[in-house]
Amino acid sequence: MRIVVIAGGDSAERAVSLESGTAVVAALQDRGHHVSQLDPHTSAVADMSSDTDIAVPMLHGTGGEDGVLQQQLDEAAMRYTGSSAAASRLTFDKNLTNDCLRNHGLPVADSVVVKSASQEAALEFFGATGPVVTKPVCQGSSIGVSIVQQAGKLSDAITLALQFDDRCLVESYIPGREMTVAVLNGKPLPAIEIRPAAGECDEAAGWYDYESKYHDDRTEYIFDETELGSTLGQLATDACRACGVTGIARVDFRVDPQGVPWVLEINTIPGMTSHSLVPMAGMRIGMSLGEVIEATIHQALEPD
């Protein structure tokens, strides 16, 4: 097939997107396809060749996972892998995602959304719940995220988050295990527990920040094929179905000390770098990265 991989852009996740794009291009070329790469930072989506069979978005963050790219592809009448513009807009907004999941009976942490002028609400929330996680409402790759153990550090954490979005989500911190499940065409891949190296943000076990995701070789990845892994797989597919997510996605969880799982977020264009979780999960069931992407291509090209 003639495939265009879209990667790069101008978001805070540009570097990761380019790395994912390079990996996907190589994987699809290994499968015998004619593959080119387009960077929306330097080329317009509308300028793609008319003989392109399908586009594969690998554009992380704003402009890619927020529905903007998907809307452009729809307007160009170009087939593409992954979720629709509407599902992308929904899941890129962490607050809207939480509302949707909560309305479908799925477990999400309590939270409040604040802007720079209304941090009093965050302090009140902190006083009621204890430690919190602050994050931009619309952002990915743990950019602008902080774990706040003390009320005196809350203002700085909110200020950091607001550098990347005009709203900050203040969410109850859930101690426990960090886990994730990739969902491929509506079916879960094996669950993975993530064990970052200990860090100063989470005194117990570190946390899965940008450095841990993409650069730290000390981060451990452990497959969980127990009953818990099966439970997470079902929750992940339910979460994707609730939000209209299709193709490949990754659903992140915390599992508290009582063994209760909580949905953190849904990633509609997850990373495909050498440190990324989706390729690991695919390999676990004998699928190469090229085969994983091909599966999403076949789904996208199925007759409506």
Residue tagged active-site, from 267, 276, 282, 290: 267
> Which amino acid makes up residue 194?
I
Catalytic-residue membership of 252: yes
Residue tagged active-site, from 14, 177, 250, 254: 250
Residue tagged active-site, from 80, 173, 208, 214: 214
Counting Cβ atoms within 10 Å, is residue 53 exposed (0-12), middle (13-18) or buried (19+)? middle
Catalytic-residue membership of 282: no
Instruction: Give the integer Cα–Cα distance in Å for 209 and 199.
Output: 10
Instruction: Give the integer Cα–Cα distance in Å for 130 and 150.
Output: 8
Residue tagged active-site, from 84, 141, 172, 212: 141
Rg (CA), the chain: 19
Residue tagged active-site, from 247, 265, 276, 282: 265
Catalytic-residue membership of 13: yes
Indicate the DSSP class of residue 80: B
- Other CB atoms closer than 10 Å to residue 37's CB: what's the count? 18
Catalytic-residue membership of 103: no
Counting Cβ atoms within 10 Å, is residue 180 exposed (0-12), middle (13-18) or buried (19+)? buried
Instruction: Give the integer Cα–Cα distance in Å for 236 and 183.
Output: 7
Give me the DSSP letters along 118-155: GHHHHHHHHHHH-SEEEEESS--TTTT-EEE-SGGGHH
Residue tagged active-site, from 177, 252, 276, 294: 252
Catalytic-residue membership of 267: yes
Tokens of 47: 């300028």
**Which distant-in-sequence residues (6+ apart) come within 8 Å of 298 by Cβ?**
none
Catalytic-residue membership of 214: yes
Catalytic-residue membership of 250: yes
What SS3 class is residue 213?
A: helix
Residue tagged active-site, from 82, 176, 233, 271: 271
Residue tagged active-site, from 8, 9, 11, 13: 13
Question: What residues pair up with 171 in beta bridges, in sequence order?
Answer: 111, 133
Catalytic-residue membership of 141: yes
What are the b/e assignments for 133-172, b being 16+ CB within 10 Å? bbbbbbbbbbbbbbbbeeeeebeebbebbbebbebbbbbb
Catalytic residues: 13, 141, 214, 250, 252, 265, 267, 271
